[in-house]
Structures are given as structure tokens and as C-alpha cells.
Amino acid sequence: MSSSINDQARDTFDGLRSIGRRALRGIRSSSVSRTLSPVPTARQLLLIPQDLRTSDPSFASELYDGYFGLAGTVALTGSVSPFTVQPPSLPWQRELYGMGWLHNMEAAGDQIAQEKARALILDWIEHSGDAPPIAWELDVVARRVSSVLSHAGFLLRGTQSNYYHSIMRMLTTELHYLTANYGEAYHTAPRLFALTTILLSGLCVKEHQSLLNSYQGVFLAELERQVFQDGGHISRNPSTLVELLLELLPLKQCFLARKMETPEQLNRAIGRMMGMIRFMRLGDGSLGRFNGMGATRSDLLAAVLAHADDGVIPQGYAKESGYCRLVRDQTIVIADVGTPPPDFASANAHAGYLSFEMTTGIEPLIVNCGAPRDELTDWTYAARATAAHSTLTINDESSSKLIKRKTGMGGEVHLLSGPSNVTTELARDRNELLVKATHDGFEEKYGYVHQRRLRLTGDGMSVEGVDQLTLAPHNRHNPKDGDTFTIRFHLHPRVSPSLHVEENSVGLTTPDAQLWKLRAAGAKIGIEESTFLADPIIQKRSMQVVMRGECGTGKQVVWSIRRIQTNVRDPSRSGYRGPRIVEDES
């Protein structure tokens, strides 16, 4: 009862605080505030930053036919402004207001596309006063400003002076918004996006150069606070690293173009993040689907990695980020062995502790379900549950709780409250790699600690594991009869399973004719349906191997995934080039 009362009081407080924040934001963004702003009116561009994202020129021709396609969904706009139509999805709406579509319009390379892009910018200026809250989220505003700066030449070339000044006023107003409100995001990625864009404007706009002195120190301190020494982000979401680098790399280029010394902290952070992206990359080129990671945009990933200084892939244990990477031959295993992010950075975090993903060559075998594209569906919450990951659950419940909180924009988020204690040990036995990890996410309700041991053999032909439930130290809960555990191994949609009841095993066949066998002792094995949410086009039906049994003190399940047959094509003939591995001998 007291917990419920505390939650209600906290929600009430959060609601009052969000009302206060909206009022304060209105004051900060008012015309009176802008007259006191340190952001002078933009008048002259010194530099146009590079947009590293890939473009799609067909977007323009579809737009001429009345279709506005963004983030995998399409809105039928006809001759109506896209800023007035019903958005088909939240990602579509976010991309609309972020104006990344300017890249596609410029790629079309014709005068019609230029005129249409200019008209769309005027549409935004006209409707900005009535825009929904999502248009004023910090990361969306930052993306909008950086997009307009990156395509200013396309928008302003040969234009009339009144249009030129409209764009400059828009940039000034929205940059003022960023300087006035960046602190509200606390130490999360939107705050870093906002500060990056402020510095970018300071390098690119003549009248904004003073912003470099005013905000560079704040930016660098935030960069050090959010980017761990091992290169991971405080949110533990691999996709955040890609999105940040798409903004940080052009910022670095602008320092060089202006013949200014690039801050060493920026260079080091970029190098660390590049290493972590390679750390989280599986054999098929995708990033591990942990803590909010959905489909990997291979084009964006390639654009980022093209700026990497070397091809070295860190191995072993990224302690701060909370991931292990095991590699032998063509087998790669990445495991989540970390604690939850801080509550303020956990809005997209998943309860997937001790889950892992596995690829063999360029074929994914074991996966997590991943995050769906649209954040406003029931799948979003299902994807964050422990059952959506290749790990153990008790009574099909998650090892973490989702706690609803109000946001400053009047919306709500669900923060993750997970295990308080996660331990990890990594070792090498001759040429084999071993990891042992535990978490106490089930202790409060069931009194158990979950321990998982993984061993990758030296030839990469076998992954052996042990899942064990032990009584938590100083346990106050007596385990109850009837509590059951389920160990799930979600399979990639390309994997075909076949059940062998007499062996208590499942055969796994990949498209390139590899045959693996998953055997288990200590639990009954079976095959059930699953859903792969991280496909780049549409969520797909998939399968999962499940192992079930009754909980008990010292209960353990011993399992192995062993390759027993292969007709794999020679990787050198198929065009596949394995990453260069540098072993950590420490």
C-alpha cells in the first residue's frame, strides 16, 4: 500500500513539474526572451556542414504524386501541407519535423525539387506556432537546425532576399530554443544533440561564433559524462552511438574546415564510440539488439564506419557498457551482462539481462526480438520484457519493472527499474572463452539469483551454457512450489528449427546449409512461435526454442549449441570478408 501511495505521489509531483516546465519553456521561447538571448540574428553563412546520411532521390518524385514517405510509412498529402495531415506513425512525425528529408530533395537535383523544398520550409514556418509537442523535443529541433544548415546551399542558392532572411530568422529562433532549453534533457542524448548543434552553428554562422566560447566547455563535459571510456553510451543503446556520430563527425569536419583545433576530447570520444560500434557488430553486419536497438540501418552504419581510423575490433568485456563479446573462427557471441542505465537514461532500455545473440559467419542464429520501429504500439512494451530476449524468466515475468513518469513536454515515458547487482567474470581457458554472470532481478519477488555461464570453444564450433537458479544471500523469500522457469532462445527468421524429442534437442538450419544442434539437460525442450521486431522493413514471424522446468534451489540447465554439419560456401568466394580481430591478451 505504501509503495502504491508513493507512486501516486510521485506521479502527481511529476505532473505538476511538467506543467511548470512547459510554462518555463514558453517564457524562454517568447519574443521577450529572444531579445535577451545571447544568440544574435543569423545573417551570413561561413560554412555548410556535410550530411553523412544516404539519400533517396525517388522521395522527390513520390512527393510530387502526393505521397510523403518517411520512416517506413507513407502519408497521403496530395496538395496539402504535410504539417497539417494526420501522421501515420510517431517515427514519421519525428522525421517530418527533423527535416532530414531535405537530403533526399537535394539529391533529386532539379529545380522542381528545390522549389518544393523551399515551399515546405515556409510551410513549417507558417505552422510552427501550432506544431505538436514532438516538433519541439530537443533532439528533433537539433536535427531540424542541422538539416537546414547542411542543405542551406540547396535552399538559398539564387533565392530572393526575403526568403533568405526568413530562413535566417528561423535558424536564429530555433537555435535560441536550443540554448534556452538544452538543460531540461538532463544527461541524455537529446541534450548532447542540442549542444552539438549549438557548436555546429557557432562554426557555420558568422554571427554565432561567440557560441563556441560560451558552450564548448559545456559540450565537452557532457560528452565525457555520456560516453563511457569503453565507448558505450550511458543509455546502453547501440543505435544511439550511430545517431550521435552522424552529428559529431560533421562537427569535427567543420573544426578542420575552419582551420581550428579540434578539441582532443571530441577526437577521443569519436574514437571510443567507433570502437564500441565495432564491438557490438555481429557477423551479418547488424548491431546487437539490446536496450532499444531495432533494425540496423546498414547505410548509416557504413557512413559512420567509413570515417573510422582503423579496422580493429575490441574483444572481451566492455565493463562500463555492460557487454561481452566472444569470437572464435566465424562464430560471434555478444551478451548483455550489465546493470540498467541510470533511471533518467532508461526510457528505451530492455530487461534482457544475461541474454545473448549469436552469428555464424554471415548468418544470424540466436537473436533477441529487438525494438519495433514505432514506439507507440503494444509491441514496444512487449519488446522490453525479459521474455523477448534469449535468457531466463520465472513464471514468464520480467527481471525488471517499467515505471511510468511524466515528461516535460506533457507526455510520459516508462523508465526501467532492474537488477541492482550484476556480476561478471571473463576468462580464457587455453583457446576457449568463458563468461560467468549473475543478476538479482528475481530476488525481490522470488528469492532467486540467475547465473549464466557461457563457453565458446576454440574452434568456434560450439557454445556451451549453464543456467542456474540459486537462493539469494540473506534471502527473505521462501521459494514457492509451482514456480516455473523458461529459458528462451529466439531464432532469426532465416533459421529453420526441427524438434528431436528422443534427444531432447532441436536442429537449427541456416540458409547457407549449416546445421547446428541445440541440446539441453535439466529441462524439457520445445519449439514455439516468436516475432522478430527488428527487421528493417516489417516485423516477421519467427520461432523460438524454449526450455521449461520447475524452479528449485540449485536448479540448473546445461545446454549446448554445436555445429554438426556444414556445406557453407567459401567466404572468400561469396564476397564476405571477416573483420580483422585483435585479441586482448590481458
For the chain, first and last CA: distance in Å? 51
Q: Residue 336: give the domain boundaries.
A: 324-400+413-574
DSSP string, 317-353: EETTTTEEEEEETTEEEEEE--PPPPGGG-TT----T
CATH, residue 185? 1.50.10.100
pLDDT at residue 313 in the model: 78
Residues 6+ apart with CB under 8 A from 550: 482, 483, 484, 485
Residues 348, 241 share a domain = no
Q: Which of 272, 305, 338 is the last residue of a domain?
A: 305
Rounded to whole angstroms, the Cα distance separating 583 from 366 reads 24
Q: Is 125 exposed, middle or buried (0-12, 13-18, 19+ CB in 10 A)?
A: middle
pLDDT at residue 31 in the model: 47
With cut-offs at 50, 70 and 90, classify the pLDDT of residue 30.
very low
Rounded to whole angstroms, the Cα distance separating 554 from 448 reads 10
Residue 1 covered by a domain:
no
With cut-offs at 50, 70 and 90, classify the pLDDT of residue 428.
confident
Closest CA to 369 of 438, 454, 437, 292: 292
Q: Which of 416-430, 475-489, 533-547 has the lowest mean pLDDT?
A: 475-489
For the stretch 90-123, pLDDT in tens is 999 999 999 999 999 999 989 999 999 999 999 9
Rounded to whole angstroms, the Cα distance separating 514 from 341 reads 37
C-alpha cell belonging to residue 463:
557454445
C-alpha cell belonging to residue 310:
582503423
- Contact call for residues 159 and 118 (beta carbons, < 8 A): yes
With cut-offs at 50, 70 and 90, classify the pLDDT of residue 6.
very low
Residue 378 covered by a domain:
yes
Phi, psi of 30, rounded to the nearest 5 degrees: -75, 165
Residues 201, 62 share a domain = yes
Q: What is the dihedral of CA 416, 417, 420, 425, to 10 degrees?
A: -20
For residue 577, CA distances in Å to 388, 526, 532 come to 31, 35, 26
For the stretch 38-95, pLDDT in tens is 689 999 999 999 999 999 999 999 999 999 999 989 999 998 999 999 999 999 999 9
Q: Which of 278, 305, 332 is the last residue of a domain?
A: 305
Residue 22 covered by a domain:
no
Quick one: residue 331, left, alpha or beta (phi over 0 = left, psi -120 to 50 = alpha)? beta
pLDDT at residue 475 in the model: 66
Rounded to whole angstroms, the Cα distance separating 156 from 162 reads 11
C-alpha cell belonging to residue 318:
566492455
Residues 219, 125 share a domain = yes
Residues 293, 328 share a domain = no
Residue 450 covered by a domain:
yes
Phi, psi of 39, rounded to the nearest 5 degrees: -100, 105
**Helix or strand holding residue 415 (H, E):** strand 412-417
With cut-offs at 50, 70 and 90, classify the pLDDT of residue 429.
confident
> How many domains are contained in the chain?
2
Residue 121 covered by a domain:
yes
With cut-offs at 50, 70 and 90, classify the pLDDT of residue 18.
very low
Give me the helices (H) in 128-237, please. 138-150, 152-156, 161-181, 189-204, 210-226
For the stretch 246-303, pLDDT in tens is 999 999 999 999 999 999 999 999 999 999 999 999 999 999 999 999 999 999 999 9
Q: What is the 3-state secondary structure (H, E, C) of 361-387?
A: CCEEEEECCCCCCCCCCHHHHHHHCHH
Q: What is the DSSP letter of 186?
A: -
- Name the amino acid, one letter, at 565: Q
Residues 258, 203 share a domain = yes
- Contact call for residues 146 and 247 (beta carbons, < 8 A): yes
Phi, psi of 138, rounded to the nearest 5 degrees: -55, -45
Residues 523, 441 share a domain = yes
- Contact call for residues 263 and 224 (beta carbons, < 8 A): no
Residues 434, 295 share a domain = no
Three-state SS at 304: helix
Q: What is the DSSP letter of 129?
A: G
Q: Which of 250, 271, 305 is the last residue of a domain?
A: 305
Residues 330, 297 share a domain = no
For residue 276, CA distances in Å to 242, 350, 496 come to 10, 19, 31
Closest CA to 286 of 189, 363, 356, 228: 363
Residues 227, 167 share a domain = yes
For residue 204, CA distances in Å to 2, 240, 294 come to 55, 25, 33
- Contact call for residues 38 and 426 (beta carbons, < 8 A): no
Residue 311 covered by a domain:
no
Residues 375, 347 share a domain = yes
Residue 38 covered by a domain:
no
Three-state SS at 264: helix
For residue 114, CA distances in Å to 52, 69, 111 come to 20, 18, 5
Residues 6+ apart with CB under 8 A from 217: none
Residue 374 covered by a domain:
yes
Residues 570, 500 share a domain = yes
CATH, residue 475? 2.70.98.70
For the stretch 156-171, pLDDT in tens is 998 899 999 999 999 9
> Which pTM was predicted?
0.89
Q: What is the dihedral of CA 472, 316, 347, 173, to 10 degrees?
A: 150
Rounded to whole angstroms, the Cα distance separating 307 from 304 reads 6
pLDDT at residue 2 in the model: 36
For the stretch 443-489, pLDDT in tens is 989 999 999 999 999 999 999 999 999 988 876 666 677 899 999 99
Residues 393, 255 share a domain = no
- Contact call for residues 540 and 585 (beta carbons, < 8 A): no
With cut-offs at 50, 70 and 90, classify the pLDDT of residue 537.
confident
pLDDT at residue 576 in the model: 36
| The pLDDT of residue 568 is above 70 | no
Quick one: residue 482, left, alpha or beta (phi over 0 = left, psi -120 to 50 = alpha)? left
Three-state SS at 113: helix
